[in-house]
Structure 1
Amino acid sequence: MELLPFTLHRGTKQRGMGLPMHVHDETQLTFAASGMVQIHTAEGRWLVPPQLAVWIPEGTPHRLEVLSDAELWMVQWQPSVARAWAPVALDRAFVLRVTPLLRALLGSAFAAADASDSMAGSAPEKAELLARLMLHELTGTAHAPTFLPMPTSPAGQRLADAALGDCRQRLGLAELASRAATSVRSASRLFPEETGLSFKAWRQRARIVQAMDGLGRGTPIARVVAECGFSSTASFSCAFRQVTGMTPTQFLGQADVAASA
């Protein structure tokens, strides 16, 4: 039987479970067929609901946090094969939206795996075509709105931690900078340099990512609004749309549709 240079793995994880920081020898695409997970790397963290998938290159330290009961589908390629088959360099971690074609390719690949003990079965050529096409669907590598980049300098990290601890945004930049033992001027310079976002934009992104985290865990929208310090559901919905391009209800609806697909 011909051995293929990629493998498929599927499993379920319960809410609260996860994997500690680790690395793979293979490149990996992880798709939450249902539920929601969060991936942490040195660059930042990605919230991954069912309409998104995460790409992790080989040798990239990362950890997994399961926010709600999830069924995970994972495809792993040998690094040399991924480089040869992909139309663009896939040398950094990113999250992308799962296109209808990618969803169909994943479904077909795992259905074939269910039908036989090996993905190859009697048609290794078809298996290889599915895996090749998956890599071609990973060309839209812009960071998804669920990505929260983290600053790399000690001062930037202290300021980020202080801001994340103030989800309701009761503290101004001057107070946060003071608590982080830095200055407003340094903070205003560090965040664009290290995250690509102004501190104001980063803080708004962090607030929405934290809200998405709550929604993914099943917290009612009204409670998320209160916990994140928004004055009303309308203001929350407006801010959510500005960052993600959809309303909170649409976000939850897409997750429900993907989970039932």
Structure 2
Amino acid sequence: MADELIDPTVFDPENAPVSIRAVLRRSSVMRETALHRHAPGQLIGTLTGSIRIETNAGKWVVPAIHAAWVPPHHDHAMSSNGPFQGWSVHIPPALCAGLPASPQTIAASDVLQAAITRVATWPNGPQNNAQHRLAQVIVDEIAMAQKVAFHLPAPGDARLQRIARQITIDLANNRTMAQWADWAGIAPRTLSRHFVTETGFTFQAWRQRARLLAALEMLASGMAVTTVALDLGYDNISAFIAAFKKTFGSTPGRYLDIQGL
């Protein structure tokens, strides 16, 4: 069984003082943390590798130089996609009032990462005015951070949930929407309408996003672009590259360069 992503012996958020706390973490193997919740808000970031955050509202993929924000009292589970290096920051509820009320993935600025690296050297959190001011920089950076499109929203309807689970299990399956509707015992029009209402995406766009988020994890693990494209059901690498660039703003090759992979 994989070790926990955030070791509770290093930092117990339920018993933490009312100040920002940060920890750095590096692992050469996969790490997991089961579904849980806590009073502080949590920012989880990666420097190398990638992690996945899952909540009832969906999942977020967090590639290198990005971070996921989880507000106070939100159930969430975490896992790393193989080896990773990253950090976690816990923020007391009193400091979360101006921060996003729902989970999201953000771009981690150089200022944010530098402040976290410094705060992580304080085993008992900030102890003086200067340190508290630096800790406040972390809060301000989260509030101002650019939201990025690494979220796959989960549908609420039980029939759509069955379809969504099956799609994520076999992303290369090119079954049509009508075929999925027949499989789940739902009218195609109803499936189409509910997918948009419950996730904000059409069925096709949702499946495309599921594939591309999986691509981020596969690329981070070292898989070749061509292998990723074919394993995800794309007819050719050009179609995959075009979809990747449209969603993430860069080609897979450029993405790998940015991540240092």
**TM more than 0.5:** yes
Percent of pairs identical after alignment?
24
Q: Which one of the candidate residues 147, 152, 156 is aligned to 1:152?
A: 156
Asked if 2 retains the 8 angstrom alpha-carbon contact of 1:24 and 1:58, the reply is yes
Q: State whether structure 2 residue 242 is matched by structure 1 residue 238.
A: yes
Q: State whether structure 2 residue 83 is matched by structure 1 residue 69.
A: yes
User: What is the aligned length?
Assistant: 245
Distance 1:188 1:92 in 2: 25
Q: Which one of the candidate residues 15, 18, 21 is aligned to 2:35?
A: 21
For residue 126 of structure 2, what is the aligned residue in structure 1? 120
Q: State whether structure 2 residue 19 is matched by structure 1 residue 5.
A: yes
Q: What is the CA-CA distance between 1:130 and the residue it aligns to?
A: 1.9
Q: What is the CA-CA distance between 1:150 and the residue it aligns to?
A: 1.0
For residue 31 of structure 1, what is the aligned residue in structure 2? 45
For residue 231 of structure 2, what is the aligned residue in structure 1? 227
Between stretches 22-31 and 125-134, larger displacement belongs to: 125-134
For residues 159-215 of structure 1, give each alpha carbon's deviation from its aligned partner in whole angstroms, at most 9, with x where no partner exists: 212333442242111111111221211111111111111112111111111222211
Asked if 2 retains the 8 angstrom alpha-carbon contact of 1:20 and 1:63, the reply is yes
For residue 5 of structure 2, what is the aligned residue in structure 1? none
CA RMSD, 1 decimal: 2.0
Asked if 1 retains the 8 angstrom alpha-carbon contact of 2:99 and 2:142, the reply is no
The code of the aligned residue for 2:135 comes to: A
Distance 2:96 2:144 in 1: 16
Q: 1:118 to 1:17 in 2, by over 3 A?
A: closer
Q: Which one of the candidate residues 181, 184, 189 is aligned to 2:188?
A: 184
Q: 1:94 to 1:155 in 2, by over 3 A?
A: same
TM-score (norm 2): 0.86
Q: What is the CA-CA distance between 1:27 and the residue it aligns to?
A: 0.9
Q: What is the CA-CA distance between 1:15 and the residue it aligns to?
A: 3.4
Distance 1:89 1:76 in 2: 13
TM-score (norm 1): 0.86
Asked if 2 retains the 8 angstrom alpha-carbon contact of 1:167 and 1:229, the reply is yes
Name the SS for the 1:72 alignment partner.
strand
Q: Which one of the candidate residues 60, 63, 74 is aligned to 1:49?
A: 63
Query: Structure 2 stretches of 5 or more lacking a match?
Result: 1-16
Q: State whether structure 2 residue 126 is matched by structure 1 residue 108.
A: no
The code of the aligned residue for 2:58 comes to: G
Q: State whether structure 2 residue 105 is matched by structure 1 residue 95.
A: yes
Q: What is the CA-CA distance between 1:241 and the residue it aligns to?
A: 0.7
Asked if 1 retains the 8 angstrom alpha-carbon contact of 2:19 and 2:126, the reply is no
The code of the aligned residue for 2:116 comes to: L
The code of the aligned residue for 2:110 comes to: P
Name the SS for the 1:68 alignment partner.
coil
Q: What is the CA-CA distance between 1:144 and the residue it aligns to?
A: 2.3
Distance 1:67 1:23 in 2: 21
Q: What is the CA-CA distance between 1:17 and the residue it aligns to?
A: 2.2
Higher relative contact order by CA 8 Å / sep ≥ 6: 1 or 2?
1
Q: State whether structure 2 residue 141 is matched by structure 1 residue 137.
A: yes
Query: Structure 1 stretches of 5 or more lacking a match?
Result: none
Q: 1:188 to 1:141 in 2, by over 3 A?
A: farther
Asked if 2 retains the 8 angstrom alpha-carbon contact of 1:4 and 1:120, the reply is no
